[in-house]
Amino acid sequence: MIYKISCLLLSLALIFLDFVLIPSLAKPTPITSLNVLTYGAKPDGSKDSTKAFLAAWEVACASPKPTTIIVPKGRFLVGNLVFQGKKCTDAPISIRIAGSIIAPEDYKVIASSLQWILFDGVTNVSIYGGLLDAQGSSLWKCKNNGGKKCPTGAKTLLFTHSNNITINGLTSINSQKFHIVIEESNNVNIDGVKVSADADSPNTDGIHIENSHSVNITNSRIGTGDDCISIGPGSTYVSIQGIQCGPGHGISIGSLGRSEDEQGVENVIVSNVDFTSTDNGVRIKTWGKYSKSFVRNIVFKHIKMKRVKNPIIIDQHYCLDKPCPKQESGVEISNVRYEDIQGTSNTEVAVMLDCSKEKPCTDIVMGNVNLLLQMVNGSAQASCNNANGLANDVVIPFTPCLKRDMLLT
């Protein structure tokens, strides 16, 4: 009898503990929501809302709980925005944009700051949706008309010295210079973005990566007057997948080797990309001068080319200076693979491997490459200088510097 009573008491005690403890354990951490309208932002596209955005950020930054900053429907005019993360708690901050954020019509207002919207030293920040319009067309016109007093222009969105960043569903149009820049940052995921600028807009790279580690770009559509995606010095473990590129200058590694001690690029995968009417397809470009830099462990695969001027190109004599130094590039390029690349070239030379005498390209591997000349008459060609490697499957056009895999003959 005593045993049964003890068991009953124990059961009641356990039920009481379940009632008290389990709800508290299962209760999710509350998320604080901040609407920029609360801080004085106006969605009319004419009143400056810069201070309101910064005020909302300050509250989110200081919060120990996850916080969502809401930008509702409407057009919000802002000047230079600098979101500092040094004093933040590093609790997750989500910025959900339903409307549009627009820059001042006078390009000079933001051009002197080199970037329009800057996130510096932030951690666990996510941006979802929305449109950024930098209104850069008047600056493009200034540059294209040869204006010597035109400013360089502002990058639209820059993350620097940051970690654990997500950009999802964002649209960026009419940037003065680069649209999205990832610099000295780690663990960055960019998905479903749209980038648009006129085909003649100068230096309007869609996404630029530099000195960053573990960057993933997926399912995005990019059309600009410069590179759709450019990968600069010090970038490692970069994955690019599911991109529609055009117009623009293609996807480029480089330019590299402008300075002697510049860091290299390695472990990059570019896959499932469609290039349409671009100046280049997949490109590696380095300056023709002495350098200790390198490019290695690169894969380009499952790529479609449509009316592309230079579908596959390595250019180790890249130079914008006048006069050019006329030196050989010291950047060492090795272990570059091209797999399953199909489509049409708008010029006769569909494959150009123009490598350095000082540091020839090594371990270039091609397989299942079939690039045809867009024009009815004639056939595409390949050009090789100081490059060597292997053709382990069908490679069209015939690329003389690549040896046939003996196992296939």
How far apart CA 237 and CA 235 sit, in angstroms, is 7
Q: Which residue reads 């630029």 in tokens?
A: 208
How far apart CA 86 and CA 98 sit, in angstroms, is 27
80 found inside a domain: yes
- The residues that bridge with 207 in the sheet, in sequence order, are 180, 229
123 found inside a domain: yes
- The residues that bridge with 192 in the sheet, in sequence order, are none
Yes or no: say if 161 and 201 are a contact pair by the CB < 8 Å rule: no
Of 50, 114, 40, 117, the closest CA to residue 77 belongs to 50
206 found inside a domain: yes
How far apart CA 278 and CA 280 sit, in angstroms, is 5
20 found inside a domain: no
Q: Which residue reads 């590299």 in tokens?
A: 256
How far apart CA 250 and CA 252 sit, in angstroms, is 6
Yes or no: say if 177 and 154 are a contact pair by the CB < 8 Å rule: yes
- At residue 254, the pLDDT reads 96
What is the phi/psi pair of residue 265, to 5°?
-125, 135
Yes or no: say if 185 and 163 are a contact pair by the CB < 8 Å rule: yes
- At residue 327, the pLDDT reads 86
How far apart CA 85 and CA 67 sit, in angstroms, is 14
How far apart CA 231 and CA 207 sit, in angstroms, is 9
Of 217, 254, 258, the closest CA to residue 235 belongs to 254
How far apart CA 393 and CA 401 sit, in angstroms, is 14
**What are the average pLDDT values for consecutive 10-residue runs of the chain, which has 409 residues?**
44 43 49 95 97 98 97 98 96 98 96 95 98 97 89 97 98 98 98 98 98 98 98 98 98 95 97 98 95 97 98 94 84 98 96 96 98 86 97 93 69
Q: Choosing from 179, 208, 249, 317, which is the catalytic residue?
A: 249
- How crowded is residue 204: how many other Cβ atoms within 10 Å of its Cβ? 32
Can the peptide bond before residue 64 be classed as cis, meaning omega within 30 degrees of 0? no
229 found inside a domain: yes
Instruction: Compute CA distances 83 → 117, 120, 391, whole Å.
Output: 8, 6, 50
316 found inside a domain: yes
The CATH number that applies at residue 102 is: 2.160.20.10
What is the phi/psi pair of residue 105, to 5°?
-65, -35
Q: Which residues of 329-339 are buried (b: 16+ CB within 10 A; e: fewer)?
A: bbbbbbbbbbb
281 found inside a domain: yes
> How far does Cα 203 stand from its chain's mean position?
14
3-class secondary-structure state, position 54: helix
3-state DSSP of 119-163: EECCEEEEEECCEEECCCHHHHHHHHCCCCCCCCCCEEEEEECCE
Yes or no: say if 283 and 310 are a contact pair by the CB < 8 Å rule: yes
- At residue 22, the pLDDT reads 42
24 found inside a domain: no
Residue 249 bears catalytic tag: yes
Domain that holds residue 105: 37-404
- At residue 12, the pLDDT reads 43
- How crowded is residue 281: how many other Cβ atoms within 10 Å of its Cβ? 30
How far apart CA 187 and CA 125 sit, in angstroms, is 11
Q: For the chain, what is the domain count?
A: 1
Instruction: Compute CA distances 242 → 193, 213, 272, 304, whole Å.
Output: 11, 20, 5, 11
Yes or no: say if 348 and 378 are a contact pair by the CB < 8 Å rule: yes
Q: Which pair of structure tokens corresponds to residue 242?
A: 């599911």
How far apart CA 183 and CA 160 sit, in angstroms, is 5
